[in-house]
Amino acid sequence: MIDIKFLRENPEVVKENIKKKFQDEKLPLVDEVIALDAERRAAQQEADDLKAEKNKISKQIGALMAQGKKEEAEAVKKQIADNGAKIDELSKKQAELEEKVTAIMMKIPNIIDASVPVGKDDSENVEIQKYGEPVVPDFEVPFHADILDSICGLDKEAAGRTSGNGFYYLMGDAARIHSAMISYARDFMIDKGFTYCIPPFMIRSNVVNGVMSFAEMEAMMYKIEGEDLFLIGTSEHSMIGKFQGEMVNEASLPITMTSYSPCFRKEVGAHGMEERGVYRVHQFEKQEMVVLCKPEESMDWYNKMWSYTVEFFRSLDVPVRTLECCSGDLADLKVKSCDVEAWSPRQQKYFEVGSCSTLGDAQARRLGIRTKGENGTYYVHTLNNTVLATPRGLIAFLENNVQADGSIKIPEALRPYMGGKEVITPVK
């Protein structure tokens, strides 16, 4: 959510930003919110004037009574009562207008960074850089579900019976690799100086509204029936919500955290062939990084954060690339975002394994997360980035470490988490 003062003073900038995001249907919202805001401020000013008048004339009552001017005193009392009733009416009107203004402001997208390329959707995202050689081996790389099947590591049929489509059982060495990758990702970020955290896996609606748009919530999140609770789609939601309503000590900034959680998503849409595997599922696990910082530090942290994900995957012998998200592919609260994509030697193309975003002060403004510096109180900036989301990370690992004989090579960085194993041999 952008600052109403900024919108009021720069309506054309806000409209141009909406056009860059190809959301022209939202253009009327700018003029609508300006009109409502003007009405709200007028009501507030009128109420303030009446309060001042009420305070002024209240002092006259005692003097009039002392002079025996009871009728005049009663007239003043009536005027005070009338003013009080009018003030209550204006306060109610102001609150209603405030609610309308906030509802509209939450639909208007955040101002994107000037460096963001303009494009309609993810097909117009721009490759930034490749890391590692995207090798195509001289043997046919199996589909990841077949690699997992070769080590008796995947059972989607049983999961279909217990939970439905989009769920899975990981077993044996497959489950062990999965857990090893998560543990390694945790320690990798702790070594970068981040504080490890396990957050709540359910959050209230006011937190949901603080961290994402309503449209995103509807598309992603599962609601607990009969309760004001949602299953988290990523631990970022809980981690930012942790600071809701707080005045953060400026000396504590930046606050750098790495969090583990299961994640739950509806994943609406056709899945095609990937339904057979675990590329697109309703439940997965994730190691996330979250930063709260001063506004002037946010872009530096943005660049550090995505680079950590690149470094992590390269340590697992997975070639990756970074992709700048274009304006039309940015969620409404995001200022700038890039995806980290892993190389798939089977498909001979890259696929997304992580996403890094800076949201400016949008989430902090919605949730009331502030700090106080030399120049007064201000909203902090928030950033988030995926270290590892698995099973997608597991897919990237398997495809890039499977050998011609079907065995799976364990990179050196992962061996301490695999009991020293250097290779996993297929049993089928």
Using only C-alpha atoms, the chain has a radius of gyration, in whole angstroms, of 28
pLDDT, residue 338, reads: 97
Q: What's the sign of the alpha-carbon dihedral 132, 357, 301, 386?
A: negative
Are 287 and 364 spatial neighbours (Cβ–Cβ below 8 Å)?
A: no
HEC per residue, 376-392: EEEECEEEEEEEEEECH
Q: What is the pLDDT of residues 323-369, one digit of tens each?
A: 999 999 999 999 999 999 999 999 999 999 999 999 999 999 999 99
Comparison of pLDDT for 107 and 271, the residue scoring more: 107
Answer whether residue 273 shows pLDDT above 60: no
Domains, the chain, ordered by start: 4-105 (1.10.287.40), 122-424 (3.30.930.10)
Give the pLDDT band of residue 63 (cuts 50, 70, 90).
low
Whether 271 has a pLDDT exceeding 50, the answer reads no
Q: Which two tokens stand for residue 56?
A: 């002024």
Instruction: Tell me how far apart the alpha carbons of residues 188 and 167 are, in angstroms, rounded to a whole number.
Output: 28
Peptide bond into 254 cis (omega under 30): yes
The mean pLDDT value for 9-15 works out to 97
The residue written with tokens 């609406």 in the block is 268
User: Does 66 have pLDDT greater than 90?
Assistant: no
Checking if the pLDDT of 269 tops 60, the result is no
Q: What is the pLDDT of residue 415?
A: 97
Distance CA 212, CA 363 (A): 8
Residue 375, exposed/middle/buried by CB under 10 A (0-12, 13-18, 19+)?
exposed
Eight-state DSSP code of residue 121: S
- Are 308 and 290 spatial neighbours (Cβ–Cβ below 8 Å)? no
Residue 428 burial by CB count (10 A; 0-12/13-18/19+): exposed, middle or buried?
exposed
Q: Which residues pair with 260 in a beta bridge?
A: 287
